């Protein structure tokens, strides 16, 4: 897969997703019912973060048992994490930041990947490595919508998936920005609801969000 098709494949996936839930799965037995609850609410593109001891097994279980889920791996911090994501069968990878080593490994990989940026210099490094679709993180803390508007000036071709501090109250405002393809966040799967096994409640939250946040051409 060449760089351009890989990049456009990821852009199309993110554009259609609208919202990508950031999943930090603490217990393996929660993985499949959580994914099924999200998919039932029309949220199919999922980011399983490598933040817990069960994350890898959780991603494996979702990929194996929830075929309608489109599973990406998040919190990719180095080349080993990137390789692990590929071996798991992830559809994409995403990172909160990007070292030169990670950008080099991702550029050499055929896994669609979105590095994380918070500054103009970090965005320049991502663009130089061939990545024009990036995660803007932590979005609210790094300057919010005004920051992403400012980046649109010198970097008109850059596209973003803002994550961090985004929820039901402000997701639509972020998605209204022309350089934003989708948003990431954990508000669709609150830890308390996961621990309680309130899968119906999570599905209802997803349905409400997807009805109010429609994809558009970007």
Read off the pLDDT of residues 42-93 as tens digits, 9 standing for 90 and up: 999 999 999 999 999 999 999 999 999 999 999 999 999 999 999 999 999 9
Task: Please tell me the predicted confidence (pLDDT) of residue 218.
Answer: 56
What average pLDDT score do residues 118-135 get? 98
The active-site residue, picked from 8, 9, 26, 47, is 47
The active-site residue, picked from 122, 135, 211, 214, is 135
Domains of the chain: 3-209 (3.20.20.70)
Q: Confirm whether 8 is a catalytic residue.
A: no
Task: Please tell me the predicted confidence (pLDDT) of residue 3.
Answer: 60
Q: What are phi and psi of 182, to 5 degrees?
A: -160, 175
- Please count the other Cβ atoms lying within 10 Å of the Cβ belonging to residue 29: 12
Task: Please tell me the predicted confidence (pLDDT) of residue 4.
Answer: 67
Task: Please tell me the predicted confidence (pLDDT) of residue 5.
Answer: 85
Q: Confirm whether 135 is a catalytic residue.
A: yes
């Amino acid at each position: 897969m060449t760089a351009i098709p890989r990049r456009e494949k990821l852009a199309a996936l993110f554009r259609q997703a609208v919202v990508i839930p950031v999943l930090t799965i603490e217990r393996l037995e929660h993985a499949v019912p959580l994914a099924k609850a999200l998919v039932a609410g029309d949220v199919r593109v999922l980011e399983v973060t490598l933040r817990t001891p069960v994350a890898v097994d959780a991603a494996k279980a979702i990929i194996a048992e929830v075929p309608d889920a489109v599973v990406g791996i998040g919190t990719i911090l180095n080349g080993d994490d990137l390789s692990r994501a590929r071996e798991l069968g992830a559809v994409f990878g995403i990172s909160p930041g990007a070292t030169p080593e990670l950008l080099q490994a991702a550029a050499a990989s055929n896994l669609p990947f979105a590095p994380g940026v918070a500054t103009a210099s970090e965005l320049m490094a991502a663009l130089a490595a061939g990545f024009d679709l990036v995660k803007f993180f932590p979005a609210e803390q790094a300057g919010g919508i005004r920051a992403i508007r400012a980046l649109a000036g010198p970097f008109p071709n850059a596209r973003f998936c803002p994550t961090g501090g985004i929820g039901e109250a402000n997701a639509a405002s972020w998605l209204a920005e022309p350089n934003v393809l989708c948003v990431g966040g954990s508000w669709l799967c609150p830890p308390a609801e996961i621990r309680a096994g309130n899968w119906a409640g999570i599905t209802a939250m997803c349905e409400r969000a997807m009805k109010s946040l429609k994809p558009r051409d970007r």
